[in-house]
Every structure is written in structure tokens, then in C-alpha cells.
Amino acid sequence: MAGPRSGGITQPVERAPAATRGAGISLATLWNALPPAGRIALVGVVASALVAVALGVFITREIRHELLEAEGRGLQAAVAAVEPSLAELVDGPLSADEIALLDRLVDRWILDGDRVRTKLWALDGVVVYSDVRDLIGRHFADVRPRLALAVERGIASAVTDLADLENEFERQYRQLVEF
């Protein structure tokens, strides 16, 4: 390759070493520069990274699923502790004494740092009881399919983004799990 002319003599242009040319090096060039053992090692590292990412995603999902199942079982046990008292409360709207009784039961058995709201639903979508008084007696038709699923399965859970109308008092949280 011809370079700058000096006194009529053509001089070769010196190229920077490959390591200093930066972006001008292609991956193919780098790959070809590796010895066979280096190529095998690089493939192993890339494969290990892909497996690690896949396992991280899978394990995270599986742990979340198992935690929700365990939480559901715990909540089912708490509801079972409260349930004998509920049988007397199914005839019409709750009285102030019945609400006070449920408040005590809910405070003792259900609400804690991880459970922030309690709603007791009638199958037609009416809130029979809630620790938020403004919800009691309100009707939310869109919850009926979820209530039917809970009756069918014994317990149902879903992560909510709190956009539904019945979640207006929980919107300070980013998302919650509904059981």
C-alpha cells in the first residue's frame, strides 16, 4: 500500500496493531484469531451464560408460584379459623356488632404485614365485609367470574395491577396478589 510521498520515495503506511484498531475488527477476525482450545472455552462460557439466564428465569417463576401456593394455603387456614363465625352472618347486610366481630377476627387471623386488605364477597359480586367500610354493600359485577373460580378450586389467586374498581383503596401499592 502506498503512503505519503517524501522526496519522491513511496513509503509504506504503518498500520496500527490489530488490538488498537477498535471497532474495525470483526467478530469473525477475533474468532479466527483464537486457538481451538480458546474457541471451545468461549463456546462453553456463552452456553453456560445462556443456561444460567434460562435457569434464573425458570427458578424465579417456580419460586413465585410455590410462594403463592403456600400463601394461599395459609390464607385458607386463616379463613377456616374465621369460617365458623361466618355461618351466622349470611342473612342480609351485616349489623354493626357483626362487623365489629369480623374486624376482630380479621385483625387476629388475616391482616398482617403481607396481607393489606380483606374483602368478603357474596357470589353476586357484593362486598359483604371489608376492613374498609366504604366497600361494604358495593356491587362489582366484574368479580363474579373470579368468585366462581374460587368456589370451584377452593382458592384462586392472581396478581392484580389494581386497575379494577374494587381496588380503589389499594392503589398506593404497585401490584398485589388477590386470593
> In 13-95, where does DSSP find H-type helix?
27-33, 36-86
> Mean pLDDT for the chain?
79
Q: How far apart are CA 123 and CA 121, in angstroms?
A: 6
Question: If pLDDT is split at 50, 70 and 90, which confidence band does 139 have?
Answer: very high
Question: If pLDDT is split at 50, 70 and 90, which confidence band does 23 have?
Answer: low
Residue range 1-13, pLDDT digits in tens: 444 444 555 555 4
How high is the pLDDT of residue 6? Answer: 47
Region 98-118 average pLDDT: 82
Q: How far apart are CA 172 and CA 71, in angstroms?
A: 22
Residue with cell 467478530: 27
Q: How far apart are CA 74 and CA 174, in angstroms?
A: 23
Region 32-46 average pLDDT: 91
Question: If pLDDT is split at 50, 70 and 90, which confidence band does 82 have?
Answer: low
For the beta carbon of residue 113, count every other beta carbon within 10 angstroms. 5
Q: How far apart are CA 138 and CA 68, in angstroms?
A: 28
pTM check: above 0.75: no
137 pLDDT above the threshold of 80: yes
